[in-house]
């Protein structure tokens, strides 16, 4: 029995040392001192979520300090009795007393008032509870863990949110300035500013409540920032598209001038105008220019919101289709006109080559070849030139020339 008691006493001394150290470490936390008003800190007035969680935990921790004294006194009493025992021979009465102190409900807790709602007619107004040292230590561990978790949660909230709130204020102002500069409406900003002010006022007295609001605030401001970045990107994209549209309109006007000249030359030199698509009318280009100007004006309007800019983007897409179609029409007119004009030149060169070949072969004076050459040359150098007839004559000349055998 003596060995068992010695082992228990050694273990209890270790427990007391650990409890003392951990209670001291918690006591030395500046957050704990701010909450209870120790070490020169004024007691922090709490409310909201923090008040609901911290006050019961701190009250339980006060009981831990009280119970620690009761537990320490009991263990010291047992140690004193153990020191009074002879070294080799035991004293049964003292051993039994030590065993009672360590292993029975030897610790009397302070009396507790019993609420009337919990009494019957024969109940006492106060009750006293007894605990074994192990039971009391288990209750102390549970109360300490709860208090530690709450105090550390407050500590983390103060450490995290106090500096964050300053940064968030700067971040919110930056977003507000950017929205103003980009003339973008962000309806959530007034609400987010009000919530930030609320958190700044609340951080001292309800840091745990700020944590709950802060997480939602962070997500909301991140969404606003993302939407603002998207709006800025959309505005830039729209500006770039409008600039490309201006350049596209300038290209169209330049092509229209070229098409007008080329088609006019075609009509003057070629007898088959039905083969060429007419160039665009000036009215068509004027309509495109006015349409683009209206889109630019609407996009530049300071009152433009996201829906208006989306409408401008849609309208610009339709404008681009019409402009590209107009450019395709003009380019087809230019290409077709140039094709026939180049064909006229090619027929002239082909006829010159064939007549030179006939001369080299001594067939230039052949009556049929001579007549074909004269008629083809008259048509190819006349205005306008009948292309189908000219092609037939040059082809006939070449066929006649090839019929000769040498």
Read off the pLDDT band of 302 (50, 70, 90): low
The pLDDT of residue 36 is above 80: yes
Q: Stretch 115-132: mean pLDDT, rounded?
A: 81
DSSP 117: G
Quickly tell me which residue has 């109940």 as its tokens.
123
pLDDT value of residue 279: 67
Decide the pairing of beta strands 107-108 and 112-113.
unpaired
How far is 381 from 403, CA to CA, in rounded Å?
27
Q: What is the pLDDT of residue 181?
A: 76
Residue 187: partners with Cβ closer than 8 Å, 6 or more residues away: none
pLDDT number for residue 124? 79
pLDDT at 276: 59
Q: What is the pLDDT of residue 233?
A: 84
Rounded distance, CA 26 to CA 95, Å?
36
Rounded Cα distance, 198 and 162, in Å? 13
What is the CB-side half-sphere exposure of residue 115 using CA atoms within 13 A?
2
Lowest mean pLDDT among 104-113, 355-364, 397-406: 397-406
Average pLDDT, the chain: 88
Tell me the pLDDT band of 9, cut-offs 50, 70 and 90: very high
* pLDDT score, position 100: 93
pLDDT single digits (tens) 206-223: 888 887 788 888 888 888
Q: What is the largest CA-CA distance in the chain?
A: 160
Burial status of residue 347 (CB atoms within 10 A of its CB: 0-12, 13-18, 19 or more): buried
Of 266, 269, 271, 258, which Cα lies nearest the Cα of 336?
A: 266
Per-residue pLDDT tens over the stretch 171-185 = 888 888 888 877 777
- Distances, alpha carbon 381 to alpha carbons 81, 245, 275, 376, 392, in Å: 140, 43, 20, 9, 15
CB 309 within 8 A of CB 238: yes
- pLDDT grade, residue 405 (50/70/90)? low
For residue 195, the model assigns a pLDDT of 85
Token pair listed for 317: 């897409």
Most confident of 85-89, 109-113, 255-259: 255-259
Where does residue 39 fall: left (phi above 0), alpha (psi -120 to 50 degrees), or beta otherwise?
Answer: left
CA distances to 7, 13, 34, 92, 95 from 83, in Å: 14, 14, 43, 14, 11
Cα distance between residue 176 and residue 180, in whole Å: 6
Average pLDDT over residues 381-391: 92
Cis peptide bond upstream of 384, omega within 30: yes
Cα separations (Å) of 298 from 64, 239, 241, 322? Answer: 72, 12, 14, 19
Q: Coil, strand, or helix at residue 174?
A: helix
CA neighbor of 311 nearest in space, from 299, 322, 320: 299
- DSSP code at position 292: H
Whole-number pLDDT of residue 8: 94
Which residue in 70, 29, 45, 56 sits closest to 147, CA to CA?
56
- What pLDDT, in 10s, does the model give residues 39-63? 888 998 998 889 999 999 999 999 9
Instruction: 166-173: list long-range contacts, CB under 8 Å, 24+ apart.
Output: 168/196, 168/217, 168/221, 169/196, 169/200, 171/221, 172/196, 172/221
Sign of CA dihedral 398, 401, 403, 406: negative
Determine which of 81-85, 149-153, 313-317 has the lowest per-residue pLDDT on average: 81-85
CA distances from 78 to 12, 37, 45, 102, 222 (A): 10, 36, 43, 7, 62
Question: The tokens of 222 are what?
Answer: 């991140």
Q: Which helix (H) or strand (E) holds 142?
A: helix 133-181
Angle 95-4-22 from CA coordinates, rounded to 5°: 105
pLDDT of 329-370, one tens digit each? 999 889 988 999 999 999 999 999 999 999 988 887 888 989
**The pTM is what?**
0.55
Q: Does pLDDT of 6 surpass 70? A: yes
Better pLDDT: 275 or 364 = 364
Residue 404 pLDDT grade (very low, low, confident, very high; cuts 50, 70, 90): confident
Average pLDDT over residues 92-108: 89
Residue 198 has pLDDT above 60, yes or no: yes
CA distance 362 to 370: 12
Domain ranges, ordered by start, for the chain:
2-111+129-159
What is the pLDDT confidence band of residue 277, given thresholds at 50, 70 and 90?
Answer: low
């Amino acid at each position: 029995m003596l060995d068992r008691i010695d082992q228990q006493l050694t273990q209890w001394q270790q427990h007391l040392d650990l409890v003392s150290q951990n209670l001291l470490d918690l006591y030395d936390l500046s957050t704990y001192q701010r909450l209870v008003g120790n070490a020169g800190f004024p007691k922090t007035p709490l409310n909201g979520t923090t008040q609901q969680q911290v006050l019961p935990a701190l009250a339980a921790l006060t009981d831990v300090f009280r119970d620690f004294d009761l537990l320490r006194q009991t263990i010291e009493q047992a140690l004193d009795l153990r020191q009074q025992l002879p070294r080799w021979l035991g004293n049964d009465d003292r051993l039994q007393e030590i065993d009672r102190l360590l292993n029975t409900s030897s610790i009397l807790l302070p009396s507790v008032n019993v609420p009337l709602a919990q009494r019957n007619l024969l109940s006492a107004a106060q009750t006293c509870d007894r605990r074994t040292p192990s039971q009391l230590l288990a209750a102390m561990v549970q109360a300490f863990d709860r208090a530690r978790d709450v105090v550390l949660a407050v500590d983390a909230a103060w450490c995290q949110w106090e500096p964050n709130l300053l940064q968030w204020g700067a971040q919110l102002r930056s977003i507000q300035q950017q929205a103003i500069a980009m003339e973008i409406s962000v309806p959530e900003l007034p609400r987010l500013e009000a919530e930030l002010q609320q958190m700044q006022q609340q951080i001292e007295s309800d840091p745990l409540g700020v944590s709950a609001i802060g997480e939602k605030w962070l997500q909301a401001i991140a969404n606003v920032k993302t939407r603002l970045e998207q709006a800025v990107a959309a505005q830039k994209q729209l500006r770039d598209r409008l600039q490309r549209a201006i350049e596209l309109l300038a290209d169209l006007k330049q092509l229209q001038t070229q098409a007008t000249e080329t088609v006019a030359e075609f009509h003057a030199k070629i007898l088959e105008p039905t083969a060429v698509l007419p160039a665009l009318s000036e009215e068509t280009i004027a309509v495109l220019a006015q349409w683009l100007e209206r889109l630019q004006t609407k996009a530049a309007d300071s009152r433009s919101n996201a829906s208006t800019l989306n409408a401008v983007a849609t309208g610009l897409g339709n404008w681009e289709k019409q402009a590209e179609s107009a450019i395709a029409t003009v380019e087809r007119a230019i290409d077709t006109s140039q094709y026939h004009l180049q064909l006229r030149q090619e027929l002239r060169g082909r006829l010159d080559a064939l007549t030179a070949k006939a001369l080299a072969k001594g067939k230039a004076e052949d009556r049929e070849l001579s007549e074909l050459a004269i008629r083809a040359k008259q048509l190819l150098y006349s205005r306008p030139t009948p292309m189908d007839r000219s092609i037939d004559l040059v082809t006939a000349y070449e066929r006649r020339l090839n019929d000769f055998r040498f």
